[in-house]
Structure 1
């Protein structure tokens, strides 16, 4: 079956070469796997797995006929070619990202300024939540004073609802603070990794030659604080 397939491919190749070649017959020559040198006026069946040179009548080389591949071999080669192309694109992309990183941060001072700015938002959000917790504590005091009148008795629905809402608001702000702490850790980890990479690039490492930066996980989504 493979022999018939190869023969069909050879006939197709012969027709293709006849259309593409200049006038005059081509001379096909190759060396077989066992070392024999063969010559023919058409593609050589014994050399289907090897490269064949196509010569003009004067002995000059007209073209090169690559090895024939079975459908399975061709599929494997195409898959390998796709992988190689993807790797080349990834390499180019990595080099582009490194060059962009170096343009954004030409020195360590510029990188430290960017880190401080990134941390500033998280620190501000933390301070806002801490201030809000203090306000909620102040709001809770008169509610607790009122609750003293109902010791040993069920609290009025309105008072209980106000205390529960105050508790929920404090808890929400505490969650926000924990999220901001996680965000600060993530930001510092990202900038630490960037700085380590930049130091190598500043020292002369070629863009795209270093392992990729590890993506830092984002903190959990922040719940909206009840008002």
Structure 2
């Protein structure tokens, strides 16, 4: 019963193969040859039904190869092949991107001195921001002193609303600057890690490694945000 049920499918595949190669078979008739799964070599003047699931060579009358008839795939096999083709295409694109990134990196940094200058510039920006926050904290501390002096007159008593509001605002401003400083410290660490990884890759490229042949740099782990300082 299975053989009988498969006959319409084989017949359809046979007709499809004959139609698909009709143009290829003219003006000279093609000679089809293949090797079956059990090792038999078959030859015919049209696609060979026993080899529908295998590759068939199409020869010219003089014996030279004209083309190759690929196996006829089931819907499941075709879907698997399409998925594999998509993965292969994605891999090719990723490889091309890796080559382009490495070449761009080498153009940007032709030597270690140029890379160090870029590192220094990036670190300088973060350091300046941190120093600015430190100066702001000093200013806020100076502004806080007269507020504390005034609060001394109200020991054991509720502070006036305006004074309490000023002290609370000063506290909040100092805490905000402390958070900024911690963020900039974390940024300095991240910058150095990034440039260290980049420099290690560049040294291999400068030494002759083929662009795109090295493992990707990957994403550096994100620095966890520092806890909010408690006063």
- TM-score higher than 0.5 here? yes
Aligned to 1:18, what secondary structure does the other structure show? coil
Does structure 1 retain, via aligned residues, the 8 Å contact 2:13–2:52? no
Cα shift at 1:54: 1.6
Does structure 2 retain, via aligned residues, the 8 Å contact 1:179–1:220? no
Q: Does 2:170 match 1:166?
A: yes
Q: 2:205 aligns with which of 201, 207, 211?
A: 201
Using the size of structure 1 for normalisation, the TM-score is: 0.92
CA distance 1:187–1:21, shift in 2 (3 Å): same
Does structure 2 retain, via aligned residues, the 8 Å contact 1:179–1:219? no
Tell me how far apart the structure 2 counterparts of residues 20 and 168 of structure 1 sit (CA, whole Å).
82
Q: Does 2:199 match 1:190?
A: no
Q: What is the match of residue 21 of structure 2?
A: 17
Q: Does 2:79 match 1:75?
A: yes
Using the size of structure 2 for normalisation, the TM-score is: 0.90
Cα shift at 1:28: 1.3
Does structure 2 retain, via aligned residues, the 8 Å contact 1:27–1:41? yes
**Count of aligned pairs between the two proteins:** 222
Moved more, 20-29 or 34-43: 20-29
Cα shift at 1:221: 7.9
Tell me how far apart the structure 1 counterparts of residues 90 and 62 of structure 2 sit (CA, whole Å).
43
CA distance 1:82–1:183, shift in 2 (3 Å): same
CA distance 1:44–1:116, shift in 2 (3 Å): same
Does structure 1 retain, via aligned residues, the 8 Å contact 2:36–2:54? yes
Tell me how far apart the structure 2 counterparts of residues 24 and 35 of structure 1 sit (CA, whole Å).
28
Cα shift at 1:4: 3.3
Tell me how far apart the structure 1 counterparts of residues 75 and 120 of structure 2 sit (CA, whole Å).
58
CA root-mean-square deviation = 1.7
Aligned to 2:137, what secondary structure does the other structure show? helix
Q: Deviations over 1:131-175 (max 9, x none)?
A: 000000000000000000000000000000000000000000000
Q: Does 2:216 match 1:212?
A: yes
Q: What is the match of residue 58 of structure 2?
A: 54
For structure 2, list consecutive stretches of 5 or more residues without a partner in the other structure. Answer: 227-231
Q: What is the match of residue 97 of structure 2?
A: 93
